[in-house]
Amino acid sequence: MDADFIIYNIGKLYTPYLTPPIHGKEMSDIQVIENAFIAIRDGLILDFGDHKYKQYKSRQTKMLDAKQMIVTPGFIDSHTHLVHAGSREDEYAKLRSGTPYLEILKAGGGILGTVEQTRKASFDALYHQAYASLTEMMHYGVTTVEAKSGYGLEIETEVKQLEVSKKLNEDHPVTVLSTYMGAHAVPREFQDHEEDYIKQVIADLDTIKTLDLATAVDVFCETGVFSIEETKEILERAKALGFPIKIHADEIDPLGGAGLGVDLGATSVDHLMAISDKDIRKLAYSKTVANLLPGTSFYLNKGYAPARKMIENQVAVSIAGDYNPGSCPTENFQFIMHLASNKLKMTPEEILTAVTINPAYHLHMDHLIGSIAKGKRADLVILDAPNLNYIFYHFGVSHTKHVMINGQIVVEDRQIVRES
């Protein structure tokens, strides 16, 4: 069968190949093919391997010479707060001089500051700001993004955020998956009667379900935000409605959100800087993926999640960017990957698993994306590096030469060539 597109002369092709979730020590198990090719047809991978691509070549086939560079599956950023209005650079000065993140929130700033701006913002303003960020992420090799709501904290604005994500998914080459996060903070108008807000979020879950605007539900389980009991109540209702569930867990205080996530069958538990040893053991061999966000530790000057301990205990780990205006204002996913290497002490192979197949699994997309495999979507990154180790070593820059999404080149020779 003829290919539409062939990428040839690939120095080294790297891909996970085991069935996810890939736990702990198996995360190092990566297939490497030297002098490889990838043949693509109708947006999907027709075949890949070493050398023998000529059988797929016709006069119409577009050819891309990878010039001995390396190729990996497109990166999957499985935790972002992509759609929001404004920015919080004033807060950065406070954080830098030592004011704790939760104190800023308690005083009505932080997430609540972005809520105020997002409520006021038009659909178009939110759309354009997020569109630009998405393009920036794509430049770093990100081909799929999970985007959470949670800056409305009232149904109208939550729906507006989710509709922006939906339109971005339709318009932008990057795949955008939406998560409803009405339980991101307690809004100002409910400060003295939080229990009523929980009831509101639970009622709003039905609306989100009816409108079919989200593929998952997330809760921020933290001191002063939502307790273990409240998180459980919200997520049990979400589960009953058929939503996959996630938890922002044990980020600052060790409340036990990770253990709750395993008990409830969460697809991922995220952050985990303060996770207990008991909950690491609970995560071991489970289907709940530990989604670590080292950019947040870096920006907030906090400790890092115990990634090595998790990997040694056979936990399935993924890495995500957590792009948001308050605790991780960057779209540079390759810097996040550097932090996973430098601060979480993960190996290049473990990190590749953690930004491809493991996040594809917890986003319920591993049948389509997350590895270079026949029949999967041709979402690929061609990186200007002699080997995988190099991209973790040479930090702070983008190594992306070309990016392909759905069989179409979207970044060519470092330039964005397709934005819609």
Could you say which residues in the range 298-357 bind Fe ion, by CB under 5 A? 322
- Min dist CB 241 to Fe ion, Å, is 22
Tokens of 301: 């000057």
Closest to ligand NIG by CB, 20 vs 110, is: 110
Q: Is 114 among the residues that bind ligand NIG (CB under 6 A)?
A: yes
Which of the listed partners (ligand NIG, Fe ion, none) does 111 bind, with a CB threshold of 5 to 8 Å by partner kind?
Answer: ligand NIG
User: Which one among 48, 220, 298, 335 touches ligand NIG, defined by CB under 6 A?
Assistant: 220
Residue nearest to Fe ion (CB): 322
Closest to ligand NIG by CB, 114 vs 149, is: 114
Which of the listed partners (Fe ion, ligand NIG, none) does 21 bind, with a CB threshold of 5 to 8 Å by partner kind?
Answer: none
Chain Cα centroid distance, residue 198:
26
Q: Is 110 among the residues that bind ligand NIG (CB under 6 A)?
A: yes
Closest to ligand NIG by CB, 2 vs 116, is: 116
Q: Is 324 among the residues that bind ligand NIG (CB under 6 A)?
A: yes
Q: Could you tell me the CA-to-CA distances from 344 to 298, 302, 372 in Å, in that order?
A: 11, 13, 26
Closest to ligand NIG by CB, 46 vs 221, is: 221
User: Which one among 78, 133, 267, 296 touches ligand NIG, defined by CB under 6 A?
Assistant: 296
Backbone angles phi, psi at 230, to 5 degrees: -65, -40
Closest to ligand NIG by CB, 279 vs 322, is: 322
Could you say which residues in the range 26-85 bind ligand NIG, by CB under 6 A? 81
Could you say which residues in the range 237-256 bind ligand NIG, by CB under 6 A? 248, 251
Which of the listed partners (ligand NIG, Fe ion, none) does 400 bind, with a CB threshold of 5 to 8 Å by partner kind?
Answer: none
Residue nearest to ligand NIG (CB): 326
Closest to Fe ion by CB, 322 vs 366, is: 322
User: Which one among 129, 157, 327, 398 touches ligand NIG, defined by CB under 6 A?
Assistant: 327
Binding part of the chain for ligand NIG, among 106-114, 235-243, 312-320, 356-364 by CB under 6 A, reads 106-114
Q: Is 111 among the residues that bind ligand NIG (CB under 6 A)?
A: yes
| Residue the block writes with tokens 């996970």 | 16
**CB atoms inside a 10 Å sphere around CB 3:** 25
Q: Is 187 among the residues that bind ligand NIG (CB under 6 A)?
A: no
Binding site for Fe ion (CB under 5 A): 322
